[in-house]
Amino acid sequence: MNILYALDLIGTAAFAASGAWAGIRRRMDLFGVLVLGMVTATGGGTLRDILLGDTPPFCLKDETYLYLSLAVSLAIFFFNRRLDSLRHPLLYFDAVGLGTFVVIGTGKALEFQMGALGAVMMGVMTATAGGVIRDVLSNQVPLILRREVYASACLAGGVLLVLLHSSPLPAPMAALVAALAVIALRLLAIRHDWALPRAKD
């Protein structure tokens, strides 16, 4: 198992947990919690693959993602009170998933010969679309539309990977550097409460 795949699974688990917790907060039943966990973890990558014409999507080619999402969502549903202390650490795992999903999405788009802007868009969508679906289904304003440094961190990581793609750096190393940049930026934003500016009244 390579390091990017391991990080991808960690991110999938974290995203599934965040979706399941959103369902519990909105007092959904077991099915609703499972759906929210699944779409949060796999929604972005599935949408990316459909747009790239790479079907069936990644999670149907490697069902590990589906089983992991279901297992984590079930654990959150049945043990959410005992796992309450994990909510803060989940932010850090979520950052790992964010960085990994960005580079996987951007890298895959580059492999499909997309231009720089399209590749970055695919990377950002891979990392954020699942969360958007989660927030819409749970009747909340999507996280990427709030002030947090979230989608902007993904954008920075995607641009960095595109720039490194044309450098002599080996592709796996370029992906790891870009992923670590997104993770670091997101963690710094959490720690220092960074946010993008709003328009003045």
Residues in the chain, overall count: 201
Read off the pTM: 0.87
Crossing angle of helices 30-52 and 87-111, in 10° steps, is 20
Would you write out the chain's pLDDT as a tens digit for each of its 201 residues? 587 788 788 889 988 988 998 898 889 999 999 999 999 999 999 999 999 999 999 999 999 999 999 999 999 999 887 766 666 667 777 888 889 999 999 999 999 999 999 999 999 999 999 989 998 998 888 877 776 788 889 999 999 999 999 888 888 889 889 999 999 999 998 888 887 777 776
